[in-house]
Structure 1
Amino acid sequence: MTTILLSIDTDVARAKAQAESLISLPIETAETNVVLYHVFRADDEGADANALKSVAEAKRRLEKEGFDIEVSQSSGDATRNILEKAEEIDADIISLAGRKRSPTGKALFGSVTQNVILKSDRTVLLETAE
């Protein structure tokens, strides 16, 4: 059984691109568990990843192709939480959506994608969407 942690932000276009990227992989959908994972910035008891359009879109597309989907969420530091979730579920692959940023933007604000790639010992699948 293959486990994929698909870390989704709130951007629907990036979520679609991530879903399509997984669909294009030569993997058996019946032998693959996908955890759609969203990290909220603030701890809000009313927050629900299932209510996000990006999560709903990725879930719809992946379920249509026969993937077994679980939705999970947390709040706080995105890099740390993604790495901890990958460890918890023993993910074979971490799927992330990158976005174009200027070098100054990366230096000032950091990059969750970059940090996960650098700190993870797991395979990271990166999808970039405009």
Structure 2
Amino acid sequence: MTTILLSIDTDVERATTQAESITELPIRIDDTTIVLYHVFRTDDEGADAGDLKSVKKAKQVLEDAGFDVQIDQSSGDAVRNILTKADEIDAGIISLAGRKRSPTGKALFGSVTQNVVLKSDRTVLLETTE
């Protein structure tokens, strides 16, 4: 059994690209569980990742391909939460969506994607968009 953690932000295009990339992997659909995971920046009790358009779209793409899909969420530090969730579910793959940014942009604003890649000992699948 393989579990894949898709860390989804609010961008529908990136979420769609991430989900589609999973459907192209050489994996057994019936032996794979996908966890769509969104980290909210603040702790908003009324927030529900299942209500996000990006999560809905990724879920639709994956379920249409035959995958078992679960939705989970947290709030706070995205890097720490993604790594912790990957450990909790023993994810075989962490899927992230990055944006192309200049080296200066990365230095000034940091990068959740970059930090997860550097700090994780798990396989990371990175989809980069403009």
Query: Scaled by the length of structure 1, what TM-score is found?
Result: 0.98
Task: Give the counterpart letter for 1:101 in structure 2.
Answer: R
Residue 105 of structure 1: CA displacement?
1.2
The aligned counterpart of 1:7 is 7
Residue 101 of structure 1: CA displacement?
1.1
The aligned counterpart of 2:31 is 31
Aligned length: 130
**How do 1:25-104 and structure 2 match up within 5 A?**
25-104=25-104
Q: Distance in 2 between matches of 1:44 and 1:105?
A: 28
The aligned counterpart of 2:128 is 128
Q: Distance in 1 between matches of 2:25 and 2:98?
A: 18
State, as a whole percentage, how many aligned pairs show the same letter.
Answer: 76
Give the superposed CA RMSD: 0.6
Q: Distance in 2 between matches of 1:22 and 1:71?
A: 16
Q: Distance in 1 between matches of 2:57 and 2:67?
A: 14
Q: Distance in 2 between matches of 1:100 and 1:74?
A: 25
Q: Distance in 1 between matches of 2:25 and 2:9?
A: 21
Task: Give the counterpart letter for 1:33 in structure 2.
Answer: T
Shifted more, 115-124 versus 101-110: the winner is 101-110
Q: Distance in 1 between matches of 2:43 and 2:108?
A: 24
Q: Distance in 2 between matches of 1:129 and 1:11?
A: 11
- Structure 2, unaligned runs of 5 or more: none
Superposition misfits of 4+ residues, deviation over 2 angstroms: none
- Structure 1, unaligned runs of 5 or more: none
Deviations 1:2-54 (A, max 9, x none): 00000000000000100110000011111000000000000000110000000
Residue 110 of structure 1: CA displacement?
0.3
Q: Distance in 1 between matches of 2:129 and 2:22?
A: 14
Query: Scaled by the length of structure 2, what TM-score is found?
Result: 0.98
